[in-house]
Chain A
Amino acid sequence: MSETKKVEFEYSQIDSERMRLNVGPQHPSTHGVLRLEVELDGEIVTEVIPHIGYLHRCFEKHCEKMTYPQVIPYIDRMDYISAMNNEWPYVMGMEKLMEIEVPEKVEYIRVIMAELNRIANHQIAVATFGLDAGAFTPFLYLFRDREFILSIFEKASGGRLLYNYFWVGGLAADVHKEFKEDVLKIVKQVRETNKEIADLLLYNKIFIERVANVGILPADVAVNFGCSGPVVRGSGLAFDLRKDAPYSIYDRFDFDVVTGRGEVGTVGDCFDRNIVRFHEMEQSCRIIEQAIEQMPMDGDVREKLPKKVRPPKGEIYTKAENPKGELGFYIVSNGTDKPERIKSRGTSFVNLSVLPEISKGYLFADLIMILGSVDIVLGEVDR
């Protein structure tokens, strides 16, 4: 009888190598021209290195050659799906530098426009998140509703994507006569569709299986990386500039800060980040309804527009709660009509930095979901 030899088997003895996969810059799910260098062990992600810069447009350098009002269209092109919100912190900073007090009506229109744009942004975020999971139909339902919101913007500013609507000291144009009725109609429509989306997509068993307990981002890690917006709120931290550092007239409205509760898994997973956006749409609807009620219809939105935008020497940092998180502008003025320096704190750029941290050890399919749940726009990452 021959003695059987005991074979010690270890996983590491298998002659295997890891695969380096370039996801992007041309890939259906990178939400733009992001390149992720991914190291895969079979299907398991061991390393993610985001490479950015494919959409770099020298925004900050361009600003130094532009007059202050000319900067606004460039800002639109940063986070191009929530352009209204982008303009706000810049305009607000300029108004503080020049000590302009904007009329009530302008403030209300700004709030309504910003909240509508927040809804539009979250619709895209939820829709593309579903699309990453393979659900095509809810994507189109949400995009259909977004078109109604864009129509309001078109009536006000003339543009459907890039508005150049918030000007220093006022607005580019007044809203149309039936503005209030149109907005309320949209709010109703948004609520109806959201009910449908919750049934069709968000609480679908397969969808929950895909997103629960995936890409868990603990609150302390989120804070250390400087995340903001739904990413940090998804981790259970109620950080919202509209409540914590109220700007404009946000202190007049009653709304809740939605945070992730770990409904179907762990707090801070992909489901939480996504559901925070979903519920924020409802909160935005509430703000819009209150603002519509309080808003005066008479008054001139252009009366405080300065003849020449020439702020005194000085510097200022203003920030606002964008749909994606905190967007800040640091403006240095040298007393001329052109800025000395403009630095923007891009939300998506900061939020993207957390991706390598939270996607290790998950499957490749999960990486796509995690990227979708962070909700970046490459226009803002690269600027």
Chain B
Amino acid sequence: MEHQILTFYDWVAKLSSSELIALILVVTLPLVFLIVYALVAILGELKISAFIQERLGPMRTGPWGIIQPVAEVVKLLQKEDITPDAANKPLFNMAPFLMFTAAYAGFAVIPFSSNFVPAGINLGLFYIFAMGSLAVIGLVMGGWASNNKYSLLGALRSVAQIISYEIPAAIVILSIVILASSMNLQVINANQGGWFWNWYVFGGPGSIWKLLVIPFTLGMFLLYLVASLAETNRTPFDIPEGESEIVAGYHTEYSGMKFAMFFFAEYANMFVVSALLSILFFGGWNSPFGDFMNGPIWGVFWFISKSFVFVFVQIWLRWTLPRLRVDQLMGVSWKVMTPIAFICFFAVGLWVMLK
């Protein structure tokens, strides 16, 4: 599978005849996107929760309250940056930035369009998964260094949770790798080209016999959706920061910009898992309707709107469901999701072998 296409990087390099400018642009564009996305997502969270709860939400900052996220960021910037006396200061200060780095590092391999991916490495899927796991270190660091019992409980809960949920998630991803026979996210996307029935949630491209595998791919999608909720610590799996039990979990002691970093990392993580869902199961930057509105620029539109659907789903679930208990959470992962993931893995493997 050859992809000899003019990438965004090449295009900028040719235009400005400087590789450096191209490099800087390619690296910073996702960050710009991330900042804009975070503001939109925060506003979305405020407004969607308000809609669900029959409230108006913020209405005073700007028309329809659209400047509210900016106001909140400015407020957090102004807040005093408190480091507790008994905290382990280097670790305490490092943790939020490590969290954010881990979340942002995932963006390096996310293909926004057929022509734009910051780093089109062949192990993209593996890399994004590894970076997701790195966030756990940030959580433990923050929880341990705070020297607060609530933080410690939250940190330990989150480790147990994220490690458990990585197993079904990893098996689901492996099944996709079998289907796509590649770990390169661009290749996975390109494989799902054409109409929407070529998406991997509908078994990928293939003959009518793929109807046999659709139940399993649909199951894989649901498994990964649940696992991704657990990885981003969102309700119903928000026990690491379950506010009614352990106050705010691992970020109890954080304030000001460091708290904002945790917050930012959570939203970035939400997007990474949503992007992964849309890439792995819903064709990423492919148009759902064949050649209609297809292309490098439309690709950005399709990719972002598909991802935003899953961001919306996460927000929606958060304001609808209660939270699980820590032992039930483990039970769901190990007793239900992992076996089902293995069954799907086996079924998909068998199908690819017989195809």
A104 to B287, CA, bound (A): 74
B236 & A363 in contact (Cβ 8 Å cutoff) = no
Question: Which of B51-59, B118-126, B170-178, B208-216 lies at the interface?
Answer: B51-59
Cβ of A43 under 8 Å from chain B: yes
Closest to A22 in B: B149
A210 to B52, CA, bound (A): 23
CB of B348, distance to nearest CB on chain A (Å):
28
A4 to B236, CA, bound (A): 47
CB-CB under 8 A from B49, the residues of chain A are 136-137
A140 & B55 in contact (Cβ 8 Å cutoff) = yes
Cβ of A135 under 8 Å from chain B: yes
A28 & B323 in contact (Cβ 8 Å cutoff) = no
CB-CB under 8 A from B238, the residues of chain A are 134
CB-CB under 8 A from A21, the residues of chain B are 149-150
CB-CB under 8 A from A363, the residues of chain B are 325-327
Cβ of B321 under 8 Å from chain A: yes
A351 to B55, CA, bound (A): 35
B325 & A130 in contact (Cβ 8 Å cutoff) = no
B326 & A136 in contact (Cβ 8 Å cutoff) = no
A135 & B321 in contact (Cβ 8 Å cutoff) = yes
Closest to B324 in A: A206
Cβ of B130 under 8 Å from chain A: no
Cβ of B291 under 8 Å from chain A: no
Cβ of A19 under 8 Å from chain B: yes
Neighbour of B54 across the interface among A131, A134, A140, CB < 8 A: A140
8 A Cβ contacts from B305-338 to A: 319-328
Query: How many chain A residues touch B (Cβ–Cβ < 8 Å)?
Result: 29
CB of A18, distance to nearest CB on chain B (Å):
12
CB of B246, distance to nearest CB on chain A (Å):
8
CB of B229, distance to nearest CB on chain A (Å):
12
Cβ of B244 under 8 Å from chain A: yes
Query: How many chain B residues touch A (Cβ–Cβ < 8 Å)?
Result: 29
Cβ of A65 under 8 Å from chain B: no
A201 to B244, CA, bound (A): 17
A316 to B327, CA, bound (A): 51
CB-CB under 8 A from B239, the residues of chain A are 365
CB-CB under 8 A from B325, the residues of chain A are 209-210, 363, 365-366
Contact digits for A184-222, partner B, Cβ 8 Å, 1 yes 0 no: 000000000000000011001011011000000000000
> Given contacts A19-B149, A134-B235, A209-B328, are A365 and B322 in contact (CB under 8 A)?
no
> Given contacts A204-B321, A204-B322, A209-B324, are A365 and B245 in contact (CB under 8 A)?
yes
A365 to B322, CA, bound (A): 13
CB-CB under 8 A from B52, the residues of chain A are 137
CB-CB under 8 A from A209, the residues of chain B are 324-325, 328
A136 to B324, CA, bound (A): 14
Cβ of B247 under 8 Å from chain A: yes
A137 & B53 in contact (Cβ 8 Å cutoff) = yes
CB-CB under 8 A from B168, the residues of chain A are none
A133 & B54 in contact (Cβ 8 Å cutoff) = no
Closest to A143 in B: B53
A132 to B243, CA, bound (A): 8
CB-CB under 8 A from A225, the residues of chain B are none
CB-CB under 8 A from B319, the residues of chain A are 136-137
Cβ of B242 under 8 Å from chain A: yes
Cβ of A29 under 8 Å from chain B: yes
Cβ of A57 under 8 Å from chain B: no
A368 & B245 in contact (Cβ 8 Å cutoff) = yes
A135 & B54 in contact (Cβ 8 Å cutoff) = no
Cβ of B153 under 8 Å from chain A: yes
Neighbour of A210 across the interface among B247, B320, B324, CB < 8 A: B324
CB-CB under 8 A from B328, the residues of chain A are 209-210
Closest to A144 in B: B54
CB-CB under 8 A from B323, the residues of chain A are 133-135, 206, 210
A144 to B238, CA, bound (A): 26
Neighbour of A28 across the interface among B235, B243, B320, B324, CB < 8 A: B243
A206 & B321 in contact (Cβ 8 Å cutoff) = yes
A204 to B323, CA, bound (A): 11
Among B52, B236, B319: residue with most chain A CB under 10 A: B236
B320 & A137 in contact (Cβ 8 Å cutoff) = yes
Cβ of A51 under 8 Å from chain B: no
Cβ of A364 under 8 Å from chain B: yes
A134 to B243, CA, bound (A): 8
A206 & B244 in contact (Cβ 8 Å cutoff) = no
Closest to B246 in A: A364
Neighbour of A135 across the interface among B150, B245, B322, CB < 8 A: B322
CB of A59, distance to nearest CB on chain B (Å):
29
Closest to A367 in B: B245
Contact digits for B230-256, partner A, Cβ 8 Å, 1 yes 0 no: 000001101100111111000000000
A135 to B53, CA, bound (A): 11
Contact digits for A165-188, partner B, Cβ 8 Å, 1 yes 0 no: 000000000000000000000000
B324 & A131 in contact (Cβ 8 Å cutoff) = no
Among B53, B54, B328: residue with most chain A CB under 10 A: B53
B242 & A365 in contact (Cβ 8 Å cutoff) = yes
A137 to B320, CA, bound (A): 6
CB of B248, distance to nearest CB on chain A (Å):
9
A27 to B150, CA, bound (A): 11
Neighbour of A140 across the interface among B53, B242, B243, B324, CB < 8 A: B53
CB-CB under 8 A from A140, the residues of chain B are 53-55
A210 & B54 in contact (Cβ 8 Å cutoff) = no
Closest to B55 in A: A140
B53 & A27 in contact (Cβ 8 Å cutoff) = no
Closest to A20 in B: B149
Cβ of A250 under 8 Å from chain B: no
Closest to B238 in A: A134
Closest to A372 in B: B244
Closest to B54 in A: A144
Closest to B248 in A: A28
Cβ of A148 under 8 Å from chain B: no
CB-CB under 8 A from A135, the residues of chain B are 320-323
Neighbour of A130 across the interface among B236, B243, B322, B324, CB < 8 A: B322
Neighbour of B322 across the interface among A28, A141, A210, A366, CB < 8 A: A210
Report the 7 A-B pairs with minimum CB-CB distance, sorted nearest first: A134-B323, A135-B322, A133-B322, A29-B244, A140-B53, A134-B322, A132-B244
Q: Offer 14 A-B interface pairs, CB within 8 angstroms, sorted by A.
A: A19-B149, A28-B243, A130-B322, A134-B236, A134-B238, A134-B243, A201-B322, A206-B322, A206-B323, A210-B323, A364-B153, A364-B246, A365-B245, A368-B244
